[in-house]
Structure 1
Amino acid sequence: MTHRTATPPTVRRPDVIAQAHARSVELGLRASETPDFHPLNRLALRELVDRNQSLYTHALPVMETLHAQIVDTQSMVLLTDSRGVILHSLGDSDFVEKANRVALCPGVSWAEADRGTNAIGTALVDAQPTVVHADEHFLHANRILTCSCAPIADPFGHTIGALDVSGDTRGFHKHTLALVRMSAQMIENHLFSTQFADAVRVHFHARAEFIGTLFEGLAAFGADGTFLSANRSALFQFGQPLAALQRQPFHALFGVPFAHVLQQIARAPGENTVLTLPSGVRIVARGEYSAQRYVTPSIGETERSRGVASKNARGVPHTADPAPLATLETLDTGDAKVAAILARVAKVRGRDIPILILGKTGTGKEWLARAIHHDSPRRAAPFVALNCASLPDTLIEAELFGYEDGAFTGAKKRGSVGKIVQADGGTLFLDEIGDMPLAQQVRLMRVLQERTVLPLGGTRAIPVDLRIVCATHRNLRAMIAEGTFREDLYYRINGLVVTLPALRERTDLAALVERMLELQPEADGLPRRVSAAVLERFMQCRWPGNLRQLANVLRTASIMAEGTDQIELDDLPEDFLHDCDDAAADENARSTLEAVDDARGDAGSAHTPQPSRMDDWQAALIAQTLARLDGNVSAAARELGLARNTVYRYLRRGGAAH
């Protein structure tokens, strides 16, 4: 079997077709011959599908969504096993007849040994996503096709099959392979999550917004921190093959002891933290594990602290959520704006009025949603959260509404209980509701009107009783005007609207720091306070990541200061200190430039530009200084009292052209 490496897949190497044609000739195939097609009989095909049941089960819903994206393009979606035998196909009716003429149907092998150069066989040989278009096929009979194929690997890196889109050559589109690659990776991630359901899983990426999406890295570890496996994205980010990673301990891969991650998961489930890869790249990561296999600190309620599975009003089993990090009372840390918001929310406590939480990313929208749930009569029922921006459009529907057995082209698979049914009796939190596709907005609107949900492929609507809390950083009214958000849904979810302030606008920074540090378990030996110098530096920062950034900075600094009484400046992450220094320097520079502007007034000379905006004054002054110092950025930054990054940002904006 082919093993996965850390090299990211290429679309198609220039020599891949020529090499594949050479292999076809060596195999004794003739381009003009008409191959003898003998598909497997029904019994043999069923046995083959059974041998590939895991691949088949996880691929079918993805194939369904992929087909929906390419429908009416005279094409079809195909799934094969590791040898290139087609297991299943979904196709446009007007293309099926043409496909049958070249035996593009279940039970037929499309390995290179049988069909010569073609996307399926060639992709499996090269273990790389491949496009074979028209005359690039070795057999003349197949030159009516344009095909895009991506291999599928199991959680241990072995190629177990392939996903392909084949169609009429006139329907060729350069973006088809990208869709196929993403769909194949989706299948791989599903297989990975199923295989390591009981392992410690670390989701990570250099960019926080990619956590929880198709592009996140996934790494799995045993209870003792032993590396188990990683998905394609993780291998690419590590820059190492799977075999090399299996010889490395957790701390060598992420820069912290395995125990710290377990404690972080127990202390703040679902929250991000900052880790460091062996390359030195800082990443955002989120850990998770099965509550049944790992012992975590007591979290309050007896049933929850034991990790006992319970059922909601529909009898759907779920593991009780950990006690929330906040209640309405604990969220009140002294800021007048926040206190006013909490007072408004408290007035609708126990009244199932939908709440819409607005605010910039990281301002604590989910914390508030959890507090609303915890302080309501529904607190004993589940709190179910779905980030509408973290899933591809084609997966949100299945994730939210669920699907019945056999919903996807008659597959013998278990159905999936959607988030809505999971939240029955409790609270459904839809984060980033502004990113929900219009089609799903229509379905959600129907659920809110009728209080029933019809799973995909189902025939019986399921009654649900839940409270809806939504959040977004988008301007929904503007989206309504643009036609990207439904007005009727907007008025269904905004019974009470509150807007959380950005961290830099709040007056309770010191209290927030204290509260966050108090949440750390005593057994960790982590400090419970910050020094006066650290707090002063915090006051100077702009906090673009808001509360989420503050929490991550404190978590990292606490680990660095483990065993001491308080966090000092040396314990803070370097990139955070640089950001603060840049912010302070920029503010000082602006003040200086404003003073220069006031002094010059209207007395400009013919040799000195007189820009009308302060940004132009800064650009002009930086340009003059750089020219006088022969482009020495460090010297210019020192003379102007700016951070070097500020000068570099000016240069990146094209300042050198002034």
Structure 2
Amino acid sequence: MSHRPATPPAMGRPDVIAQAHARSLEVGLRASETPDFHPLRRLALRELVDRNQSLYTHALPVMETLHAQIVDTQSMVLLTDSHGVILHSLGDSDFVEKANRVALCPGVSWAEADRGTNAIGTALIDGQPTVVHAGEHFLHANRILTCSCAPIADPFGRTIGALDVSGDTRGFHKHTLALVRMSAQMIENHLFSNQFVDAIRIHFHARAEFIGTLYEGLAAFAPDGTFLSANRSALFQFGQPLAELLRQPFDALFGVALARVLQQIARAPGENIELTLPSGVRVVARGEFAAPRYVASAEGFPDTARAAASSSARAAAQPCETAPLATLETLDTGDATVSAILRRVAKLRGRDIPILVLGKTGTGKEWLARAIHHDSPRRAAPFVALNCASLPDTLIEAELFGYEDGAFTGAKKRGSVGKIVQADGGTLFLDEIGDMPLAQQVRLMRVLQERTVVPLGGTRAIPVDLRIVCATHRNLRAMIEAGTFREDLYYRINGLVVTLPALRERSDLAALVERMLALQPDGERLPRRVSDEVLERFAQCRWPGNLRQLANVLRTASIMAEGAEQIELEDLPDDFLQDCGGAPADAGIQTPVALSSNGNGNGGGDGNGGDGREKPGAPVNASPARMEDWQATLIAQTLARLDGNVSAAARELGLARNTVYRYLRRSNTTH
């Protein structure tokens, strides 16, 4: 018995679609228009992803989980930026072709002004989760789709993107929007935790079993009890909007002094405590704090809490330790261009001449800035970094120059000294200075000229002694011509200008790989080298993400190859191998696909098994035309060795069980 899927309501607001259609007409769209195919070029798309790196990084694993839940439903999962441009997609292969016919692919804008009424564009304008089904789309061409979309907000409540599931209209299910909303909230919670990793964080809910789940409230506070932000669940439980909560300290929101709560946390870390919301509702809560910069200035902390925070901060810092890369000597890994840059920079040792570091995103500008600081007489003083592109205009000024008590709504009771004063005696690194607003450029120019800073709301000039290192991937001279960057500031920050080369232009790739692998934690059984085949594949890659991309690829591959002596081709992420598909066709993947019995999913090594990997049968050297062929061979051999145990094969290969089942269905169809 078949039935026709019902048209879903537009989130209970019947006027949503009508208003969206009216907007589509206002911008001059015609319903009969054929979708245009003008996606961003690959490099431009990569740069857009880089600008949305935090959103992209935290969304990717959530998208994979969501896709596993809706697999084989003729649909796909999409991530967009705040303007509706698709950054990434995951879809059923049999639906991707249909999606491409309507330009539903990365690099294409699905803003309402470009595509008319659709879930992505309409949700971003409305700021609410939205379903647009079949004929509700403005363009006739898009009426083959049913789309469910939820906006994604950053920890300060600003919309930074959207998560969408689009599929064939016949596969519409009323629960899809709920899944999308939950997934978007999961991304927001990840972003929240990452933003406030060094703040005091309170996890709370009226029911204890919801602590640690998607439904828990999250609220972040400074050590003096100043409210910083809260996630959607917390706002719902408080019953107040974010703007109202910014005016209320910890004791007003939870009915107890923060110092007492910190004492409880320090005495019994991880245990639940009871708090009371302004509404009188009692909630179960759990607290966390681990903050080097807060600990140093947390005068109100009890001794036990301060000690616990210091210990937690040291532990949290361990995995990110980059000491071996923090000197000019350790950055010199053999590339002639980089070596020349380091020699020029070294000549300025002990001289407070400002340095401007140019280069593409991910080329190691902050590594160089840290090395400059480490090799200077200021090494014992603070190195303070601020990414000018990561903060909104309204926050850059407060973060950089500091502010006095009551300087603006939501300001801390005792004010904040700001990054410039924090760097007194040391080095201030301003990353992406090309993104600094003009008003702040004027203030920074005055600080560099007068060597004093006046906090917001203050009248007293604070003297500062610091060295400044700036970095940007932008063309500042072109920005000066366009009037978006001040010429006088440019000549203040470019005492010495150096340009870091892109990774694909460097000759020291092998040494960089070796250095990065050597930085991995000693306690983990991770490989310290890559095979010759992997290094050859690395040499063929364009590396649009530069050193940052290399570090991420090596980290992922190391985990996949845990317990092995070296990283093999099959340990590399699939999307990276596909990105490197520009290599010559005859340089296909020469991959031994026989797997070891230790569950690490790796093959390779010498014919005698000298790397400790068992080889059940002769290895098969596969040179597939497509990555899917290689994966299919891998799945087939794993299933055969594990007697058809799908769950065990999925675990060993790091795949979802649905992926393995899908392979089995396709295999049965073709045989």
TM-score band w.r.t. shorter chain: 0.3 to 0.5
Higher relative contact order (Cα pairs below 8 Å, separated by 6+ residues): 1
User: In terms of Rg, which structure is larger?
Assistant: 1
TM value normalised by structure 1: 0.47
